[in-house]
Amino acid sequence: MAITDDVLVIGGGIAACTAALSAAETGARVRLLAHKKSTLRQASGLVDVLGYAGGDGPLSDPSAGLDALPEGHPYHVVGEDGVRAGLRIFDEAVGDAYRGGHTDSNALVMTHGGAVKPTARYPESVAPGLASSSGDMLLVGFAGLTDFDAPVAADHLTAAGVPFSARGVTVEFPKRFRADAKVTRFAKALDRDEEVDGGTVRSVVADTVAEKLDGESRVGFPAMLGDDHDEDVRAELSDRLGVPVFEVPTGPPSLLGLKLEDMLFDALDEAGVRISAGNPAVDFEAEDGRVETVIVDQKSRPTPYSADQVVLATGGLVGKGLDSDRESVTEPVFGCHVPHPEDRYDWSEPEAFGDHAFARFGVVPDAELRPTDEDGEPHFENLRAAGGVVGGADVAREKSASGVSLATGAVAGRLAGEEATR
Amino acid sequence: MKKSPSVLVIGGGSTGTGIARDLAMRGLDVTLVEKGNLTHGTTGRMHGLLHSGGRYAVSDQPSAKECIEENRVLRRIAGHCVEMTGGLFVQRPEDSDEYFEKKLEGCRECGIPAEVLSAEEAREIEPYLAKDIKRAIKVPDGAVDPFRLCVANAASAVEHGARIETHSEVTDVLVEDGEVVGVEVTHQTGTGPYVHGEPGEVEEIRADYVVNATGAWAGQIGDLAGVDVEVRPSKGVMTIMNTRQVDTVVNRCRPKGDADIIVPHETTCILGTTDEEVEDPEDYPEEGWEVDLMIETLSELVPMLAEARTIRSFWGVRPLYEPPGTGTEDPTDITREFFLLDHDDRDDLPGMTSIVGGKLTTYRMMAEQISDHVCEKLDVEAECRTADVPLPGSEDFTVLRDYMDDFGLRSPIGRRSAQRLGSRADEVLNSVDPNPVVCECEAVTRAEIQDSLDTAGTELNSVRIQTRASMGNCQGAICCHRMANELAPEYDEETIRASLDDLYQERWKGERHAMWGTQLSQTALKHMLHATTMNRDEDPAAADADIDFAAFDDGGASEGDASGVASGGAVADGGRERTDRAGDDALGGADGDN
């Protein structure tokens, strides 16, 4: 007898979590089928909604760019209401840990390369460092961390014309690690406040930075200020330095992305969503145009999961919700239609940051976010799609990745929940 | 004091740098000019095979004999550039027995050690060989790093007083009274100790003798001097795999054909190649069918290649030459021998000799012969010493030390660094502290990057070829910007950004030939990291328009309390015990899925 739910969400990223939370709000019994850790560990932890559209940007108001997006963009399917619904669910899920919900405007946040980018929600630890707020800034990098060079990042900020002065210094971390130590090891030393020459890690870092401080009113570090005890770390450093301390979002392994993942899963628990993690959905059974069961490969044993409604949120090319070979691009679980140029050399452009077709690969949704076949008909009456697996958006260029996941997740989840509980 | 005769060498590939080293060691006053960076032409675009000579043992025995001789020399003088993998000529059931016997006989005639292996014995060495292979011949093929080899030759030349100018294109050959007396170069942008001119600056460099060592470009230099040099550039594709599916050079044992060799190279394998004549060595089509051909044909030898992941492809141009009137139609039939073309003898134009044809394995021998020729012309008596004096990095380097303990490097990192640096490992690894890993795929630490900057200036592509940073599975997704950061504080932020953009674009060019399957997934991740996370595609610092910062969210500072967010749901960071994140350390440049 198959495990049976009202709504089955396949995936483990922002879109899947949002779809599950949205479906749960309708009173449906929801299960999330997550395979591996999501791609959030590779994401900065910022929640972009829309920063560039139709050649304009950075946009201070994301909604102002919606009309300029190309035909078939998922934002056109879900509308501005869908975008707002996604943000509402997100704000409720993460609470005070994220900021930006007080306004419809984007913030400009510096990234670890030093470029600023428009984003709609940002972690609380990032908030004091907004490039769109005032206050002279000291950036601190550590000699053993190659991802963030504080003086270069500060000069990069200055080159963007920020309305404050920015200066960077590189200091030694008070503890030495192996050559291949990751940012997680540094975070742990701050978490535990490990003993070092001259005191503990936190106090020695603060003393070192205090000597460099020259009237700046805020101090930024790469996002490595603790993991389990991040608030304590930041509070202690702020206290010792006498100015707010903030984090600069980084690439993988991204502690801010990992923390966001934890928060979303906590919210799923709270909402009563059942979670089956660790195994991939590999196949399905359908009858009369409806998906009846999804088959999960449970350590080589096929296990069926039944549901009234299914949401596909397995991600795009990065999350492997889309697959490809030399001839074609496919959606591997249900075999949904993924339009793509015939010649694989047309999938990308010669310019590295060109208008790549691959960036927009994905299933083609109908008005209810159901993936459609080549004739524009839904593959299945009860299958919807959300997030990266949905095509039509170049989320990298638009700075819309999280927003598309939130909006499509919210709408697909709500529709699935409403259908299942009707 | 008598001034030593001066020689101008055109071309910064293996032959040119080899000649510069040879002549400088003989005490001549050498200047080398190269229009790009070192290895810019064919040297940087080959499959890295250190020939045993086996490939030419039937068709071209003079070349085969030169190969085995130089194979032994390079193992001696360039140990840190060479990996003796061994090689196999594998016969499939449809390949002719007669040719197999001829190959074996040819190897023996040329003095190439050759041993016949049964199919089982061959698969013992290379377990992924096809089940139905018939047998194989084992020969001493190897892998050579052409970049490291070239850079070491240039470094040695400079140690012996040579002047090397990269980014200096020869725009005219100076002919006075019917004799070549030097060249005019136009300096281009680029930095580093090998660049001295200002961009756009034109300089006349006079010399007692000029050597044209520009390979596939020799005809173009010939044109500037008014002589015909009949090079027949021939392109070949090389496809790089994500890992070493084989640890031995695997050749197909049949007369000739495309896609018949797999060379293990560092962390990868390189599939090669095609042979197709092109008009212009810098402008020719690079097409997907060539990549498909590599995968499909070579998977007949190693079936797993059909499903394996390729990380990029690149094309190179062979500098083939044949004497006028030979008229060979198929470029695969053109000899691989090299030729000295003394333009005095040939064209009544004294003062210049061109060297054409040949291959990387015999670069030193080519350099020796032309250096002998130049010395004879200039009436200099000096012995060639390049076959005996090791290159910088390969001196007295018999034992790989345990760099793990010495430098606090984990053993695979220390081992890789030591292999690349050879006898310079101590000096380089001691120079930087702390010494974090910059490129995770290839285990390149800051010390190596910094060392390469001594000759690379702001050119990250030169850092790349010296260190292999950004050449692994992730193709720089994780490390491009880290490499760029290493240019600070010496260079300013704008320069650093421009260098990063150059490197990123160069990587993209080759990646486009591998964009499907897992590598497309990797590419999409790279695009997300650099465009989404870092906003490098829309970087406001690079845009013309000013941003109205006041129009954006200032964090709620202007409205007082910023906690307008809805509450409820999860407790933020509620102190839930998380699983240990040590496992995330495995998340490197490499996609976790291989």
Whether residue B555 lies inside any domain: the answer is no
Whether residue B303 lies inside any domain: the answer is yes
The three state secondary structure string of B53-96 is CHHHCCCCHHHHHHHHHHHHHHHHHCHHHEECCCEEEEECCCCC
Contact B532 A401 (CB under 8 A): yes
Q: Residue B194 and residue B157: Cα distance in Å, rounded?
A: 12
CA A287 to chain B, closest CA, distance in angstroms equals 31
Whether residue B111 lies inside any domain: the answer is yes
Query: Considering B272, B292, B318, which residue would you say is the last residue of a domain?
Result: B318
Tell me the residues of chain A between 59 and 88 that have a Cβ less than 8 Å away from chain B. 60, 88
Q: Quote the number of domains for chain B.
A: 3
> For strand B142-144 and strand B135-139, is the pairing parallel, antiparallel, or unpaired?
unpaired
pLDDT band at B193 (very low <50, low <70, confident <90, very high): low
pLDDT surpasses 70 at B567: no
Note whether A373 and A262 are same-domain residues. yes
Contacts of A350 in chain B (CB under 8 A): 508-509, 512
Q: Is A369 helix (H, G, I), strand (E, B) or coil?
A: coil
CATH number at residue B254: 3.30.9.10
CA A358 to chain B, closest CA, distance in angstroms equals 8
Q: Residue A296 and residue B425: Cα distance in Å, rounded?
A: 51
Whether residue A106 lies inside any domain: the answer is no
Note whether B88 and B166 are same-domain residues. no
Whether residue A304 lies inside any domain: the answer is yes
Whether residue A122 lies inside any domain: the answer is no
What is the percentage of chain B residues whose pLDDT exceeds 70? 90
Query: Considering A208, A231, A248, which residue would you say is the last residue of a domain?
Result: A248
- Mean pLDDT over B566-583 rounds to 37
Bond from prior residue into B489 cis (ω within 30 degrees of 0) = yes
Whether residue B467 lies inside any domain: the answer is yes
Contact B440 A180 (CB under 8 A): yes
Q: Is B277 helix (H, G, I), strand (E, B) or coil?
A: strand
Query: B283 - beta bridge partners?
Result: B280
Whether residue A64 lies inside any domain: the answer is yes
CATH number at residue B187: 3.50.50.60
Note whether B135 and B244 are same-domain residues. yes
Query: Considering B512, B533, B554, which residue would you say is the last residue of a domain?
Result: B533
CATH number at residue A154: 3.40.50
CA B530 to chain A, closest CA, distance in angstroms equals 9
Note whether A223 and A262 are same-domain residues. no
Per-residue pLDDT tens digits for A97-143: 999 999 999 999 999 999 999 999 999 999 999 999 999 999 999 99
Whether residue A354 lies inside any domain: the answer is yes
Tell me the residues of chain B between 340 and 359 that have a Cβ less than 8 Å away from chain A. none
Note whether A373 and A331 are same-domain residues. yes
CATH number at residue A369: 3.50.50.60
Tell me the residues of chain A between 373 and 412 that have a Cβ less than 8 Å away from chain B. 395-397, 399, 401
Asked if A356 is an interface residue toward chain B (Cβ–Cβ < 8 A), one would say yes
Contact B563 A102 (CB under 8 A): yes
Asked if A34 is an interface residue toward chain B (Cβ–Cβ < 8 A), one would say no
Contact A42 B528 (CB under 8 A): yes
Contacts of B492 in chain A (CB under 8 A): 155
Please state the length of chain A.
422
Whether residue B70 lies inside any domain: the answer is no
Per-residue pLDDT tens digits for B410-449: 556 777 787 788 888 888 888 888 889 999 888 899 999 9
pLDDT of residue B401: 44
Note whether A264 and A233 are same-domain residues. no
Per-residue pLDDT tens digits for B477-488: 999 999 999 999
In Å, the largest CA–CA distance within chain B is: 91
Note whether A271 and A214 are same-domain residues. no
Place of tokens 């000739």: B256
Domain extent at residue A411: 3-99+257-421
Of B489, B552, B569, the CB nearest to A107: B552
Asked if B488 is an interface residue toward chain A (Cβ–Cβ < 8 A), one would say yes
pLDDT of residue B559: 53
Note whether B455 and B312 are same-domain residues. no
What letter represents residue A87's amino acid? L
Task: Assess contact for B20 and B32: CB atoms under 8 A.
Answer: yes
Whether residue B265 lies inside any domain: the answer is yes
Q: Is A89 buried (19+), middle (13-18) or exposed (0-12) by CB count in 10 A?
A: buried
Joined tokens for residue A266? 């906590």
The CB-side HSE value for A34 (13 A sphere, CA atoms) comes to 22
Query: Considering A223, A248, A273, which residue would you say is the last residue of a domain?
Result: A248
Whether residue A362 lies inside any domain: the answer is yes
Asked if A115 is an interface residue toward chain B (Cβ–Cβ < 8 A), one would say yes
Joined tokens for residue B75? 């193992």
Whether residue B129 lies inside any domain: the answer is yes
For B118, the enclosing helix (H) or strand (E) is: strand B115-118
Contacts of B408 in chain A (CB under 8 A): 176, 178-179
More confident residue, B566 or A68: A68
Contacts of A47 in chain B (CB under 8 A): none
pLDDT surpasses 50 at B467: yes
Q: Residue B552 and residue A166: Cα distance in Å, rounded?
A: 19
Note whether B244 and B198 are same-domain residues. no
Of A43, A148, A358, the CB nearest to B520: A358
Bond from prior residue into B434 cis (ω within 30 degrees of 0) = yes
Contacts of B502 in chain A (CB under 8 A): none
Contacts of B557 in chain A (CB under 8 A): 133-134
Q: Residue B58 and residue B107: Cα distance in Å, rounded?
A: 8
Tell me the residues of chain A between 187 and 226 that have a Cβ less than 8 Å away from chain B. none
Note whether B214 and B154 are same-domain residues. yes
Whether residue A40 lies inside any domain: the answer is yes
Contacts of B571 in chain A (CB under 8 A): 95, 266
Note whether A242 and A375 are same-domain residues. no
Q: Is B279 helix (H, G, I), strand (E, B) or coil?
A: coil
Per-residue pLDDT tens digits for A5-48: 999 999 999 999 999 999 999 999 999 999 877 778 888 999 99
Joined tokens for residue A62? 């994301």
Contact A113 B409 (CB under 8 A): no
pLDDT surpasses 90 at A226: yes
Whether residue B10 lies inside any domain: the answer is yes
Domain extent at residue B290: 82-143+232-318
Note whether A228 and A139 are same-domain residues. yes
Tell me the residues of chain B between 497 and 536 that have a Cβ less than 8 Å away from chain A. 497, 504-505, 507-509, 512, 515-517, 520-521, 523-525, 527-536
Asked if B288 is an interface residue toward chain A (Cβ–Cβ < 8 A), one would say yes
Note whether A142 and A278 are same-domain residues. no
Q: What is the DSSP letter of B579?
A: P
Q: Residue B263 and residue B248: Cα distance in Å, rounded?
A: 7
Dihedral sign (CA B509, B514, B517, B518)? negative
Task: Assess contact for A110 and B579: CB atoms under 8 A.
Answer: no
Query: Taking the C-alpha atoms of B421, B422, B427 and B428 in order, what is their torsion angle to the nearest 10 degrees?
Result: 10
Task: Assess contact for A66 and A78: CB atoms under 8 A.
Answer: no
Instruction: Spell out a b/e string for B416-438, using b for 16 or more CB atoms within 10 Å of the CB, else e.
Output: bbbbbbbbbbeebbeebebbbbb
Note whether B157 and B128 are same-domain residues. no
Note whether B433 and B505 are same-domain residues. yes
Query: Considering A221, A248, A275, which residue would you say is the last residue of a domain?
Result: A248
Note whether A39 and A21 are same-domain residues. yes
Note whether B424 and B493 are same-domain residues. yes
pLDDT of residue B558: 60
What is the ipTM score, two decimals?
Answer: 0.96
User: Which residues make Cβ contacts (< 8 Å) with residue A37, sequence separation at least 6?
Assistant: A12, A261
Note whether A293 and A395 are same-domain residues. yes
Instruction: Spell out a b/e string for A34-47, using b for 16 or more CB atoms within 10 Å of the CB, else e.
Output: bbebbbbbbbbbbb
Note whether B359 and B489 are same-domain residues. no
Tell me the residues of chain A between 325 and 344 that have a Cβ less than 8 Å away from chain B. 325-326, 343-344
Q: Quote the number of domains for chain A.
A: 2
Contacts of B443 in chain A (CB under 8 A): 180
Note whether B221 and B289 are same-domain residues. no
Place of tokens 């819309």: A400
Whether residue A113 lies inside any domain: the answer is no
The CB-side HSE value for A96 (13 A sphere, CA atoms) comes to 8
Joined tokens for residue B15? 């032959």
Tell me the residues of chain A between 35 and 54 that have a Cβ less than 8 Å away from chain B. 39, 41-44, 48, 51-52
> For strand A290-298 and strand A281-287, is the pairing parallel, antiparallel, or unpaired?
antiparallel
Query: Considering B518, B533, B548, which residue would you say is the last residue of a domain?
Result: B533
Note whether A55 and A204 are same-domain residues. no
Q: In terms of Cα–Cα distance, which of B224, B251, B214, B216 is closest to B334?
A: B216
Per-residue pLDDT tens digits for B42-53: 888 888 999 999
Note whether A26 and A92 are same-domain residues. yes
pLDDT band at B579 (very low <50, low <70, confident <90, very high): very low
Contacts of A228 in chain B (CB under 8 A): 575, 577-578
Note whether B138 and B160 are same-domain residues. no
Q: Is B80 buried (19+), middle (13-18) or exposed (0-12) by CB count in 10 A?
A: buried
Of B445, B582, B584, the CB nearest to A179: B445
CA A103 to chain B, closest CA, distance in angstroms equals 7
Contacts of A94 in chain B (CB under 8 A): 569-570, 572
Contact B569 A356 (CB under 8 A): no
E strands present in A83-160: 98-99, 107-110, 116-119, 122-123, 137-142
Note whether B438 and B511 are same-domain residues. yes
Q: Residue B589 and residue B523: Cα distance in Å, rounded?
A: 11
